[in-house]
């Protein structure tokens, strides 16, 4: 069942909506009869995506708009919010999805860390603060969908800036949902989308064909819509390699580091290799 916020004519704003998961979401929203605004970098990139979305929109291209936006810039987000209000009257569904993963090193350039945090974390905080008060005031059912990552939950070694950004996004989205459900009369709900391995420009790394392990962006969005329909806060997506049961064990093991007083990131500590393997394989 599709979530009741997806009623024809509702307005969805998708950041990072010109490619990957964001574009797939914008297309599905348009097919559901929503009016859609995509926000992304690069005029050409945006215009091509807007045309694709427009060709699927129930009432045609007039229901689609595109606004060049760098989500790390507060003034861009304010301009985006105002543009959507002017054209469509307000926003019902906000998908804070723009994200980057250029790679990072613990003692690497501060500018790289700052960019990752500015886009992946501040982009979501500022996006939420810019849009959500108006969404609440509109008094209609609505959604905020923030795209997180399993790397923000189990925080594997190798890309600390990305992990920090997505761990922060998870904490922010949990606090946001708590705030929204305790706001009298508020009909907006927040959700944390946690994709699995999805084949997009972010993960392609020179590959042309989709690896067998990966899901497509469209599969991810279909799963998201199904779980939104079930009102899940944590939309934990599997992929072709990792079923939910394995994610559950990995998440429980990570939380267990504190409870069991194990070393940080013990999943990747040689002394715990066997114990971790046994844990994920054990029958209940």
Q: Give me the active site residues, please.
A: 162
* 3-class DSSP assignment, residue 221: helix
Among 7, 187, 203, 240, binds ligand NAI (CB under 6 A): 203
Among 6, 29, 113, 197, binds ligand NAI (CB under 6 A): 197
Beta-bridged to residue 40, according to DSSP, are 68
Among 6, 13, 14, 20, binds ligand NAI (CB under 6 A): 20
Query: Which CB sits closer to ligand NAI, 65 or 98?
Result: 98
Among 11, 13, 14, 21, binds ligand NAI (CB under 6 A): 21
Does residue 16 interact with ligand NAI by CB under 6 A?
yes
Question: Where in 63-122 is the site for ligand NAI (CB under 6 A)?
Answer: 69-72, 97-101, 119
How much of the chain is helix, strand and coil, in % rounded to 5? 50, 15, 35
Burial class (CB in 10 A: 0-12, 13-18, 19+), 249: middle
In angstroms, give the least distance from the CB of 248 to ligand NAI. 17
What DSSP letter does each residue of 145-193 carry, written as one string? Answer: EEE--GGGTT--TT-HHHHHHHHHHHHHHHHHHHHHHTSTT--EEEEEE
Among 149, 155, 163, 173, binds ligand NAI (CB under 6 A): 149
In angstroms, give the least distance from the CB of 42 to ligand NAI. 7
Number of H helices, E strands in the chain: 10, 7
CB 128 within 8 A of CB 94: yes
In angstroms, give the least distance from the CB of 182 to ligand NAI. 27
Question: In the chain, what's the furthest Cα-to-Cα distance?
Answer: 60
Query: Which CB sits closer to ligand NAI, 73 or 249?
Result: 73
Among 10, 147, 154, 219, binds ligand NAI (CB under 6 A): 147
User: Strands 35-40, 11-15: parallel, antiparallel or unpaired by DSSP?
Assistant: parallel
Alpha carbons 97 and 25: distance in angstroms, whole number? 10
Q: Give CA separation, 80 vs 14, 37, 94, 117, 178, in Å.
A: 11, 9, 12, 20, 26
In angstroms, give the least distance from the CB of 278 to ligand NAI. 28
Does residue 22 interact with ligand NAI by CB under 6 A?
yes
Among 19, 37, 167, 236, binds ligand NAI (CB under 6 A): 19
Does residue 200 interact with ligand NAI by CB under 6 A?
yes
Query: Which CB sits closer to ligand NAI, 92 or 239?
Result: 239
Tokens of 18: 């010109």
In angstroms, give the least distance from the CB of 20 to ligand NAI. 2
Q: Of 15-23, 134-142, 255-263, 266-274, which part binds ligand NAI (CB under 6 A)?
A: 15-23
Tokens of 96: 């804070």
Contact residues for ligand NAI, defined by CB under 6 A? 15-16, 18-22, 40-41, 69-72, 97-101, 119, 147, 149, 195, 197-198, 200-203
């Amino acid at each position: 069942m599709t979530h009741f916020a997806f009623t024809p004519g509702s307005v969805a704003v998708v950041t990072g909506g010109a490619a990957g998961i964001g574009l797939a979401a914008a297309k599905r929203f348009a097919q559901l009869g929503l009016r859609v605004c995509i926000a992304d970098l690069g005029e050409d990139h945006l215009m091509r995506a807007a045309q694709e979305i427009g060709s699927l929109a129930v009432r045609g291209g007039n229901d689609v708009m595109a606004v060049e936006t760098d989500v790390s810039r507060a003034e861009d987000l304010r301009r985006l919010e105002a543009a959507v209000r002017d054209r469509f009257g307000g926003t019902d569904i906000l998908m804070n999805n723009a994200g980057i993963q250029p790679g990072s090193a613990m003692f690497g350039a501060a500018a790289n860390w700052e960019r990752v945090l500015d886009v992946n974390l501040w982009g979501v905080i500022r996006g939420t603060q810019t849009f959500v008060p108006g969404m609440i005031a509109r008094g209609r059912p609505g959604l905020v969908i923030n795209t997180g990552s399993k790397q923000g939950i189990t925080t594997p070694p190798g890309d600390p800036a990305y992990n920090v950004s997505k761990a922060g996004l998870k904490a922010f989205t949990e606090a946001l949902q708590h705030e929204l459900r305790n706001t009298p009369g508020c009909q907006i709900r927040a959700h944390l989308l946690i994709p699995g391995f999805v084949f997009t420009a972010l993960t392609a790394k020179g590959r042309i064909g989709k690896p067998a392990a990966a899901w497509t962006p469209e599969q991810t969005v279909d799963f998201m819509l199904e779980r939104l329909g079930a009102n899940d806060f944590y939309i934990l997506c599997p992929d072709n390699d990792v079923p939910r049961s394995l994610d559950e064990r990995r998440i429980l093991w990570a939380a267990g580091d504190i409870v069991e007083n194990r070393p940080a990131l013990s999943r990747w500590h040689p002394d715990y290799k066997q114990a971790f393997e046994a844990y994920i394989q054990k029958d209940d």
